[in-house]
Structure 1
């Protein structure tokens, strides 16, 4: 049976989206093709009709996850400092900490992305720059490029705080860390506004 181009694209997108969720839950290395295809409701054999390798799926999934983060969180935030505060409070929330599968790929996958090949790292860089530029535009609307490194450090602070909060077994300590992370991130945002 021949499928339409639209059906093939929808199937490919379903594989990418379910793989992104699985990668954030079990890691890239901990997610085999068979599991990824089962998650998408497809057979192993269908994988190669859409991707030439697992690495090509990883590249697509990371790009998709960062696009989703930007579209659903950063782009939806209010302009200026109020939008940055919305992003910070969402990112460092107990809900985000407790739901890595539906959260940001940074805190869930950075260690594996850093050990990946150049193609994966480039897809990550391209995707994260879109997120960073969205943050930078809220830091310094008149010159977002000047705020790019500051926005990157804000994301780094948030991702590192979230990773630590997820690793702690003491729930209260984890909650306290998230609250301190919010205060620190908002102080960074405020300092940027006064430059």
Structure 2
């Protein structure tokens, strides 16, 4: 039975979404193609019908993950008043749910170290993701009428990623929550004019 283009596109999307989740949960090197395809409900042999290489899938999965993070942040900040825009972004990024579910979270926090050592395609996708997150942060800083220069945006993004990583490392929910809260407070105090 021949697969239609629409079916092939749906299968490819299922593989990308599965990879995006599994890479964030286990790391790029923490899951092989065979296990990834099995998790997607497909055979290992079908992988190369959809992707030229594992690196091509990694780049697409990272792009998908980054896009999902931006969409979530944007959705929450659009609901906030202008004055609360940056606070909404910070609290969404440094939420307990984001900390506890890396498979649904920011690819930069989950995969940044691996991407820095990775191949050019996935590294470029991550760099573009950083640029787009910086633009989103800058926009929310502007809406909130607080410091909105490049230095501030870089500092906010770096602190958010670091705080999220530290919260995930903690061995107790209380300590994790403390880091999320303290990082949020620090970021919001640091952006005030």
SS of 2:13's equivalent in the other structure is helix
Task: Summarize the Cα distance change of 1:150–1:44 in structure 2 as closer, same or farther, 3 Å threshold.
Answer: same
- In 1, the alpha carbon distance for the partners of 2:27 and 2:127 equals 19
Residue from 156, 160, 164 that aligns with 1:158: 160
Q: How does 1:128-147 map to 2 (within 5 A)?
A: 128-140=130-142, 147=149
Q: Are 1:21 and 2:12 an aligned pair? A: no
- Offset, 1:170: 3.4
CA RMSD of aligned residues (A): 1.7
Q: Which runs of 4+ in 1 moved over 4 A?
A: none
5 Å-filtered alignment, 1:162-177, equals: 162-177=164-179
What does residue 9 of structure 2 align with? 9
How far did 1:77 drift?
1.2
The TM-score normalised by the length of structure 1 is 0.88
* 1:21 partner SS: helix
Whole-angstrom CA distance in 2 between matches of 1:6 and 1:83? 39
In structure 2, the gaps of 5 or more residues are none
Answering whether residue 101 of structure 2 is matched by residue 99 of structure 1, we say yes
Tell me the residue number matched to 1:68.
68
Give the secondary-structure state (helix, strand or coil) at the position aligned to 2:191. helix
Which secondary structure does the structure 2 equivalent of 1:140 belong to?
Answer: helix
Residues 92-131 of structure 1, C-alpha deviations (whole Å, 9 max, x = no match): 1222211111111122111111111222111111122222
Q: Where does structure 1 lack aligned partners over 5 or more consecutive residues? A: none
C-alpha distance 147-13 of structure 1, shift in aligned 2 (>3 A): farther
Distance apart, 1:88 and its partner CA: 0.9
Matching residue of 1:37:
37
TM-score by length of 2: 0.89
